[in-house]
Structure 1
Amino acid sequence: ALARLPDGFGRPVDLQRGDLRWRMSVPEEGRLPFDNLAPALIQWTGGGHPAQRLAPSNCRLLQLSIRHPEGAALRSFLAPLLTDARIDIAAGAATLSARFATPRGERTLA
């Protein structure tokens, strides 16, 4: 997947903490493309995804919104990798926000 992305997304680095092991794209400059709004790629290599270890929280992601002046280009680069309809990438001022359903109603982090 990393080979299909433009320069700047980084190189794969092997990481671990306890029994968790993963490979993550790490940019040489320390910042991801698109003003650091492009995602880092992570490939879990240990047994199971760590999210499966979390206790239920009664919160769930409704939408992750990424806005960037070059949002169409970012969306095009990531389209083959993203299949989650909750992720919305579009042109606009550079911002990142996430909307959640919680026991106390919807909440947005921006």
Structure 2
Amino acid sequence: MAELDHLVVGCLSLAEWRPRLEETFGVKAQGGGAHAGLGTHNALWGLARPGGGRCYLELIAPDPGQDWPAEGPTPFGLGLPATQARLTDGPRLLTWVTRDPDAAALLARGPAAMGPLRPMRRGDLEWRLASPADGVPLMGGALPFVIEWPEGPTPSDTLAGSGLTLTGFARRPDPEADAALEAMGLAALAPEGETGGGALRAEIEGPGGIVALN
């Protein structure tokens, strides 16, 4: 039942990198907004899958209109100096997110460090997301975050028709990640492959040609 929900690309400035990615993709972002109380905001692009199905890309950055939360993790560790240092030269593919209607059961088969499900919200959109204690993606991003959407359309559905297709997605071989993903039944969603040295690599094809992210 688990599916690839979205890819998480971090950057330091949405004002700078959203228009640059729009130009690179040849497609305007289709949605996004602020994560109230969490210190971040995002822009979203829908992605078709070659074999059918849909997911999306999230470009997420610190929100200059908010402070970081007083306690608890920042989304994907974006409030931490080490994560921000990774993003100095531009956006990076930080991790991926899988959705499952029974996310708690999925998490029970994975490492405890993936964290418990916590409620989140952006505008009228609500969901639950499991996050590590510090928010930092596990195993360099090879292990996903787990999301549980309420019944009804998800952003993967509402963002359909962007003209962008996820033509490739792979993770760097790692025995520990292999074992965890096999136990959760997720290995097929993030197959081992050539990543250019990073933990993850994605290829997106659209009006701007083929764009690689890692």
Q: TM-score, normalised by structure 1?
A: 0.76
SS in 1 for 2:156: helix
SS in 2 for 1:88: coil
Higher relative contact order (CA 8 A, sep 6+): 2
Q: Which runs of 4 or more aligned residues in structure 1 lie more than 6 Å from their structure 2 counterparts after TM superposition? A: none
Q: Deviations over 1:13-72 (max 9, x none)?
A: 011122211110011132232133311000111531022222622111012111143343
- Counterpart residue identity of residue 95, structure 1: A
Distance 1:44 1:28, change over 3 A: same
Distance 1:90 1:73, change over 3 A: farther
Overall identity of the aligned pairs, in %: 28
Q: TM-score, normalised by structure 2?
A: 0.43
Aligned counterparts, 1:1-110, within 5 A: 1-45=106-150, 47-54=152-159, 56-70=161-175, 71-78=177-184, 80-81=185-186, 84=189, 87-89=190-192, 94-110=198-214
SS in 1 for 2:113: coil
For structure 2, which runs of at least 5 residues remain unmatched after alignment? 1-105
RMSD value over aligned CA atoms?
A: 2.6
**Higher fraction of helix:** 2
Distance 1:24 1:57, change over 3 A: same
